[in-house]
C-alpha cells in the first residue's frame, strides 16, 4: 500500500514546526529531509505515531544541504547503515562535505559587516553550522529524473533558496513536496525568508517552472500543507517585488 505521510515535528511554536515527509510503497520507505542535528529520535517518534516502521527505511532524500534539512542525516546513517542517501548532483559536494556549506560561507562573508552587538550570536551560528556532520551521498539526482516509487516521483530542480535545491512531484497524487522552494507564512504561500534565499531571481524562475505542473497539494517543510488556489498563489509570488 502506498502513502505520502507528512510528519509534524513540534518545535514549540506553530510557525517553527517542520514537516519532513515519508513516501512509502511495497518496495520503498523514503524519508524526505531529516531535521536539525539530534532530531532523529523525534522523527522516529512521529513516524511511529503514524503507524510507520522507520526501521524499514530504505532511502533519505535531502532537498538541499541546510542544517535543518540534513542535520540528523549522520545519526540515521549510523543507526541504519544500509539506508541510501540521495541528493541533487549540484548539492552532493556539500552534503558529502567535499566543499564547505554555502550557508556557512554566507555567514562568514557577512560577519565583518555586522554590528558588534550581533557578532557573538553570529559566531555561535557559524559554530553550529560547522558542527553539522556530513554524509556520503550514495545516489545523485538529476532534474526531470523519475524515481520508481508511488507510481513515479519526478525530481524537479528548483534553485534559488540554494543552487542545488530540488523539489519532488508525485504525478499520480498531484502532490508537490516543496522543501524550501516555497513556505507558508501566516497562511500565505511565499518564498522562504529572503535573507536565506541565495538567489531570489532564480527562486522566482523555479516557481514559474512549477506552474507547468498540475498541483493540487503542496507540502512545505516550513508551514505544512497548502491546498488553496495554488496557481494564484504562484502568480502572486512571481509578480511580487523583492
Give domain status of residue 172, yes or no: yes
Strands 21-24 and 3-6: antiparallel
Give domain status of residue 175, yes or no: yes
Cα distance between residue 39 and residue 181, in whole Å: 22
Whether residue 60 contacts residue 34, with contact meaning beta carbons closer than 8 Å, is answered with yes
Convert the pLDDT of each residue in 43-57 to its tens digit.
Answer: 999 999 999 999 999
Complete DSSP assignment for 133-191: PP---SEEE-TT-EESSTT-EEEEE--SSSTT-EEEEETTTTEEEEETSSEEETTEEE-
Give Cα separations from 125 to 155, 159, 160, 239 (angstroms).
31, 24, 22, 33
Confidence at residue 196, expressed as pLDDT on a 0 to 100 scale: 83
Burial 207-220 (b: 16+ CB within 10 A, else e): bebbeeeebebbbb
Rg (CA), the chain: 17
Which of 13-17, 93-97, 164-168 is predicted with the least confidence, judged by mean pLDDT? 13-17
Give domain status of residue 14, yes or no: yes
Average pLDDT over residues 198-220: 96
Convert the pLDDT of each residue in 80-126 to its tens digit.
Answer: 999 999 999 999 999 999 999 999 999 999 999 999 999 999 999 99
Average pLDDT over residues 8-37: 91
Give domain status of residue 191, yes or no: yes
Give Cα separations from 228 to 43, 187, 234 (angstroms).
27, 10, 11
**Can you read off the three cell numbers belonging to residue 166?**
530540488
Please tell me the pTM assigned to this model.
0.95
Give domain status of residue 119, yes or no: no
Convert the pLDDT of each residue in 18-29 to its tens digit.
Answer: 999 999 999 999
Is residue 220 helix, strand or coil?
Answer: strand
Give domain status of residue 117, yes or no: no
Give domain status of residue 116, yes or no: no
Confidence at residue 192, expressed as pLDDT on a 0 to 100 scale: 83
Give domain status of residue 125, yes or no: no
CATH number of the domain to which 173 belongs: 3.60.15.10
Confidence at residue 213, expressed as pLDDT on a 0 to 100 scale: 97
**Beta-carbon count within 10 A of 71 CB:** 21
Tell me: pLDDT of 2 over 90: no
Complete DSSP assignment for 79-147: HSTTPEEEEETTTHHHHTTSS--HHHHHHHHHGGGS-HHHHHHHHHHHHHHHHSPP---SEEE-TT-EE
CA 69 to chain centre: 5
Number of domains in the chain: 1
Those residues with Cβ within 8 angstroms of residue 17's Cβ, 6 or more apart along the chain or in another chain: 8, 9, 10, 11, 222, 224
Average pLDDT over residues 203-230: 96
Convert the pLDDT of each residue in 180-202 to its tens digit.
Answer: 999 999 999 999 888 889 999 99
Which domain covers residue 179, as residue numbers?
Answer: 3-109+131-239
Amino acid at each position: 500500500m502506498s502513502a505520502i505521510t507528512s510528519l509534524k515535528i513540534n518545535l514549540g511554536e506553530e510557525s517553527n514546526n517542520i514537516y519532513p515527509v515519508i513516501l512509502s510503497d511495497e518496495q520503498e520507505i523514503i524519508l524526505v529531509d531529516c531535521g536539525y542535528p539530534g532530531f532523529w529520535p523525534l522523527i522516529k517518534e512521529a513516524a511511529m505515531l503514524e503507524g510507520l516502521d522507520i526501521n524499514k527505511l530504505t532511502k533519505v532524500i535531502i532537498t538541499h544541504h541546510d542544517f535543518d534539512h540534513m542535520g540528523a542525516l549522520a545519526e540515521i546513517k549510523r543507526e541504519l547503515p544500509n539506508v541510501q542517501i540521495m541528493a541533487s548532483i549540484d548539492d552532493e559536494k556539500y552534503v558529502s562535505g567535499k566543499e564547505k556549506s554555502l550557508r556557512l560561507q554566507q555567514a562568514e562573508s557577512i560577519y565583518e559587516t555586522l554590528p558588534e552587538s550581533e557578532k557573538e550570536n553570529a559566531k555561535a551560528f557559524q559554530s553550529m553550522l560547522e558542527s553539522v556532520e556530513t554524509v556520503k551521498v550514495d545516489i545523485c539526482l538529476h532534474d526531470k529524473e523519475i524515481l520508481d516509487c508511488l507510481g513515479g516521483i519526478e525530481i524537479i530542480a528548483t534553485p534559488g533558496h540554494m543552487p542545488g535545491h530540488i523539489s519532488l512531484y508525485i504525478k499520480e497524487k498531484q502532490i508537490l513536496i516543496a522543501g524550501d522552494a516555497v513556505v507558508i507564512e501566516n497562511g500565505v504561500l511565499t518564498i522562504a525568508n529572503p535573507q536565506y534565499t541565495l538567489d531570489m531571481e532564480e527562486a522566482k524562475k523555479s516557481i514559474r517552472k512549477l506552474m507547468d505542473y498540475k498541483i493540487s497539494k503542496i507540502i512545505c517543510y516550513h508551514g505544512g500543507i497548502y491546498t488553496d488556489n495554488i496557481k494564484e498563489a504562484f502568480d502572486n509570488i512571481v509578480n511580487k517585488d523583492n
